């Protein structure tokens, strides 16, 4: 719902991440990790990103969104599993001491810069 705010931050952080010696470079690709519980709608984020990146080093960049599943670990018996529904109770030992290992990420993992000569890798 706040995808525009997220898009603006992505653009800001990605722009900051261009090393000074490569100033002026354009970004070809931004690799994001987005947890399933992060409440980010990928289509909205792409739309906002496209609009907001105009005139920035991120203009025209491809957003690659890797969805991170909700991984839980039981503190009682140590079992680790991927949650398909929002139940934070261990199905083996019924412990309610469950730690969320992943699923809330909203991280920029890497960015890739336009090389000028060869940037025609296939999109995926």
43 binds other proteins (CB under 8 A): no
Strand partners, 64: 31
Strands 27-35 vs 62-68: parallel, antiparallel or unpaired: parallel
> Considering the rule CB under 8 A, would residue 119 count as an interface residue with other proteins?
yes
User: CA 38 to CA 66: how far, in whole Å?
Assistant: 12
Which region, judged by CB under 8 A, interacts with other proteins, from 29-37, 46-54, 73-81? 29-37
Tokens at residue 74, please?
């039981």
With CB under 8 A as the contact rule, the residue among 19, 23, 24, 55 that binds other proteins is 19
CA distance 27 to 115: 9
3-state secondary structure of 2: coil
Interface residues with other proteins (CB under 8 A) are 1-2, 4-6, 9-10, 13-14, 17-19, 22, 25, 28-29, 32-33, 37-39, 64-67, 85-89, 96, 98, 100, 102, 104, 106-115, 117-122, 124
């Amino acid at each position: 719902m706040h995808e525009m705010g997220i898009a603006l931050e992505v653009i800001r952080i990605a722009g900051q991440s261009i090393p000074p010696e490569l100033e002026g470079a354009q970004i070809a690709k931004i690799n994001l990790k987005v947890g399933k519980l992060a409440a980010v709608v990928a289509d909205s984020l792409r739309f906002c990103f496209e609009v907001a990146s105009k005139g920035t080093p991120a203009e025209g960049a491809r957003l690659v969104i890797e969805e991170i599943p909700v991984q839980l670990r039981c503190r009682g018996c140590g079992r680790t599993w991927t949650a398909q529904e929002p139940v934070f109770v261990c199905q083996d030992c019924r412990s309610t001491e469950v730690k969320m290992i992943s699923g809330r990420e909203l991280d920029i993992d890497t960015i890739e810069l336009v090389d000028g000569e060869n940037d025609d890798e296939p999109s995926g």
